[in-house]
């Protein structure tokens, strides 16, 4: 059986006790708790407040289904950092401590699941090839498992996510197998899986027996853009994605798109660089001459695309945050500028995924996911548990998100 739940991560402008109430009133059987700097901060929680939450739960029908330890917790502009694969042990221990605090809250409130992600390969990993992320992750998970007591009825869950070190369900299942503990299993985020699996339903069927919890949101096809550093052995597949190539020696960028290649410059490139650009484009059979755009002329302020660009940039691995942030005005330009054909240069939401589906949590029913087939596949392959709607992009319109999600999903569970 699959039961619906709603994450407090989509209700962060409410008082926490009030958030629990509105989920209950909306008819959801479950509620997922998520740590948040301002709403449910584990470093500020007292046992007295946790007791008040327990009393609130006892007075309502809703059940606390899972404790999410909040990827965005430490530094909002750099979510997921530090992670369980951060090369610096101090950083890993900060993340382990947050997971441990999730276990403590789960124990006090009778919550059976505590969830977290693996983290991203960052530039410090690239610069230290002797560091083995897999070894760091396995060790970190084992350390987190030590926070469980023998009498705890709590399972830790890993949540694969687009761009992360653990991105696909196969990678997640492999990690679960290597750790080899019945108290460490999978958390499936259907949006993430939709973004990362070429055969989505088949992958869900294989993963269902190892899964204990679901995140639910919708998504749609986007403009798949790979932001990569220039190197001699760079290979590009334009059937898979477009490319934004970063040149470290000038901090300039080349958009490799057959319809409109563009070079974003600080100083007009010399003859040598122009030949290099021509060679790069020619390597993927682009004969259209590139446009040259002065980077310093680009708008770099707030735009209607803030949320989607934020999600995009944090999902790009292996580059420094400065390289990622410097690309922000370029994406704004592409999203807001029309070409000669009257269409925007980037006419869909920007994506960095294995399928071109956008990693942006939409209200269920407003994207392209087939929830009937999804839930049917999960149930037929043995999944039973809570499916929690996670809509952190819709906090300002939480009432609509809460109601619309329940209306759409309740017909399938």
Domain count, the chain: 2
Rounded distance, CA 233 to CA 353, Å? 21
Q: Is 70 found in the same domain as 107?
A: yes
Question: Which domain does 344 fall in, by range?
Answer: 223-351
What pLDDT is attached to residue 65? 98
Considering 351, 371, 399, which residue would you say is the last residue of a domain? Answer: 351
Do 155 and 287 share a domain, yes or no? no
- Are 62 and 158 within one domain? yes
- pLDDT (tens digit, 9 = 90+) per residue, 259-302? 999 999 999 999 999 999 999 999 999 999 999 999 999 999 99
pLDDT at 362 (0 to 100):
97
Kindly report the number of other CB atoms within 10 A of residue 162's CB atom.
Answer: 24
Distance between alpha carbon 42 and the CA centroid of its chain, in Å?
22
pTM given for the model: 0.95
Residue 356 maps to a domain: no
- In 3D space, the residue among 100, 102, 137 whose CA is nearest the CA of residue 120 turns out to be 137
Burial class, 76, CB count within 10 angstroms (exposed 0-12 / middle 13-18 / buried 19+): exposed
Closest by CA to 201, choosing from 413, 345, 374, 10, is 374
For residue 110, what is the DSSP state? T
Strands 2-7 and 350-351: unpaired
Residue 76 confidence class, pLDDT cut points 50, 70, 90 = confident
Q: What is the DSSP string of 118-148?
A: -----HHHHT-TT--HHHHHHHHHHHHHTTS
The Cβ-side half-sphere exposure at 145, using a 13 Å CA radius, reads: 17
Q: Do 11 and 133 fall within a single domain?
A: yes
Whether 142 and 110 map to the same domain: the answer is yes
Rounded CA gap, 137 and 178, in Å? 11
| CA angle centred on 248, ends 246 and 252, rounded to 5° | 50
Span 168-216, pLDDT tens digits: 999 999 999 999 999 999 999 999 999 999 999 999 999 999 999 999 9
Domain with residue 384: its CATH number is 3.20.20.150
* In a shared domain, residues 201 and 322: no
Q: What is the pLDDT of residue 78?
A: 84
Q: Are residues 96 and 126 in the same domain?
A: yes
Q: Longest C-alpha distance within the chain, in Å? A: 74
């Amino acid at each position: 059986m699959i039961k619906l739940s709603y994450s407090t991560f989509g209700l962060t402008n409410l008082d926490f006790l009030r958030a629990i109430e509105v989920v209950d009133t909306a008819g959801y059987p479950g509620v997922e708790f998520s740590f948040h700097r301002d709403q449910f901060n584990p470093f500020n929680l007292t046992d007295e407040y946790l007791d008040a939450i327990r009393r609130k739960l006892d007075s309502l029908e809703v059940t606390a289904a899972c404790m999410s330890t909040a990827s965005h917790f430490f530094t909002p502009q750099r979510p997921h950092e530090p992670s369980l694969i951060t090369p610096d042990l101090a950083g890993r221990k900060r993340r382990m401590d947050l997971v441990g605090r999730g276990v403590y809250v789960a124990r006090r409130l009778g919550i059976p699941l505590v969830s977290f992600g693996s983290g991203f390969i960052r530039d410090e990993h690239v610069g230290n090839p002797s560091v083995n992320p897999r070894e760091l992750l396995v060790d970190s998970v084992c350390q987190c498992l030590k926070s469980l007591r023998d009498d705890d009825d709590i399972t830790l869950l890993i949540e694969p996510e687009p761009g992360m070190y653990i991105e696909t369900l196969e990678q997640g299942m492999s990690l679960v197998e290597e750790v080899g503990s019945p108290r460490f299993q999978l958390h499936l985020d259907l949006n993430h899986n939709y973004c990362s699996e070429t055969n989505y339903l088949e992958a869900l069927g294989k993963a269902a027996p190892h899964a204990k919890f679901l995140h639910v949101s919708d998504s749609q096809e986007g403009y798949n853009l790979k932001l990569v550093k220039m190197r001699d052995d760079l290979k590009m597949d334009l059937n898979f994605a477009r490319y934004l190539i970063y040149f470290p020696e000038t901090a300039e960028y080349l958009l490799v798109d057959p319809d409109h290649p563009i070079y974003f410059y600080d100083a007009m490139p010399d003859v040598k660089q122009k030949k290099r650009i021509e060679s790069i484009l020619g390597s993927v059979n682009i004969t259209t001459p590139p446009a040259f755009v002065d980077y310093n002329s680009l708008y770099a302020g707030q735009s209607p695309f803030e949320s989607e660009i934020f999600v995009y940039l944090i999902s790009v691995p292996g580059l420094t945050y400065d390289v990622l942030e410097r690309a922000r005005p370029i994406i704004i330009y592409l999203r807001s500028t029309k070409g000669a054909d009257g269409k925007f240069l980037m006419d869909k939401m920007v994506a960095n995924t294995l399928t071109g589906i956008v990693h942006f949590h939409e209200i269920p029913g407003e994207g392209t996911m087939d929830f009937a087939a999804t839930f049917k596949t999960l149930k037929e392959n043995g999944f039973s548990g809570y499916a929690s709607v996670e809509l952190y992009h819709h906090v300002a319109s939480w009432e609509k998100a809460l109601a619309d999600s329940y209306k759409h999903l309740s017909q399938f569970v």
